[in-house]
Amino acid sequence: MSDELKKQIVDFITERTAKGKGLNTMRDIAKTMSDASRKDIRDAISNMIDNNELKYWSSGSTTYITLPNFSPGSGETAEE
């Protein structure tokens, strides 16, 4: 698993969070990473969640991937 892929994922989520879109699905992330396989992206995200670099948040019907300090519905953006 590439550190470059992990950096791309975190950069994507950070950029979207700054724009007020802190909830990201696997599909959102995979669409922007055309050079990586979906399995590699899933493995990288799982590894980063295990290391508390990202976290899952569930609405009950959909599971999202967020930055660890992002709180949905707070109206705030996460800071690095």
Cα dihedral 50, 78, 30, 60 in deg (nearest 10)? 70
Give residue 80's pLDDT.
44
Q: pLDDT, tens digit, for every residue of 48-78? A: 999 999 999 998 899 999 999 888 775 555 4
Q: pLDDT, tens digit, for every residue of 10-40? A: 999 999 998 888 899 999 999 988 888 999 9
Domain ranges for the chain, please list them: 3-66
Identify the CATH number of the domain defined by range 3-66.
1.10.10.10
Euclidean distance between CA atoms 25 and 2, whole angstroms: 20
